[in-house]
Amino acid sequence: MTSNGPAFFRQVRVGRDGKNFHIVKFRTMYPGSERMVVHLAAQNEQDGLLFKMRDDPRVTPIGRFLRRYSLDELPQLVNVFTGDMSLVGPRPPLPTRSERYPDDMRRRLVVKPGMTGLWQVSGRSDLPWDEGDAPGPSLCGKLVAIVRSGDSVADSHRRDAFLGCVLTIGSAKRNVLTDD
């Protein structure tokens, strides 16, 4: 390991209907990193309630690898199995962030948070976080989000072929169901 501390990171997050739960992830930052945000606030690359830095000094070398391939998210499958999260949905916010949501953003709390969603598959930093987490994607949209989540890991030709199959099957299923 490149730093002392546990391999897993647990943090209170806000789920469906404002219910708190503990999210589980692989730890990618040095211990005490949450307290460092105050000192790094001037370097925040996002507007609003979210703190993001491309070259965040709080991230460990192994953490950079885990994040690059989204491996740090895998323990969240425990949250999916316990019913606190779904595979696709808005990212679960910290309680301190959700408390400051304006009324129009509180819609994020009417659905289960997800491991992946539009924000994650749209280049993360390229989409405003409040726009990328609107609830209610269709089943086909959820399948596309799941497939696109592997974008940094999967070979693009195989992924595009798979997406084409998913969209074709989804279209055929819709035609059968609607008798068009």
pLDDT in tens, 6-16: 999 999 999 99
Quickly list DSSP for 121-166: HTTGGGS-TTTTT-S---HHHHHHHHHHHTTTTS-HHHHHHHHHHH
Distance (Å, whole) CA 102 – CA 130: 11
Q: Phi then psi for 72, rounded to 5 degrees?
A: -65, -20
Q: Please, where are the H alpha helices in the chain?
A: 33-40, 61-68, 77-81, 95-98, 118-121, 139-149, 156-178
Q: What average pLDDT does range 53-60 have in this prediction? A: 85
Q: Is the pLDDT of residue 87 over 50?
A: yes
One-letter amino acid identity for 7? A
Is pTM beyond 0.75 here? no
For 110-155, write each residue's pLDDT tens digit.
Answer: 889 999 876 555 554 454 544 445 555 555 655 666 666 555 445 4
User: What confidence tens digit (pLDDT) does each residue in 18-33 have?
Assistant: 999 999 999 998 988 8
Residue bearing tokens 């070979």: 155
Q: Considering the chain, what is the average pLDDT of its residues?
A: 74
Q: Choose among 139, 141, 94, 102: nearest CA to 118.
A: 141
- Is residue 8 within 8 A of residue 27, CB to CB? The reply is yes
- Alpha carbons 73 and 62: distance in angstroms, whole number: 14
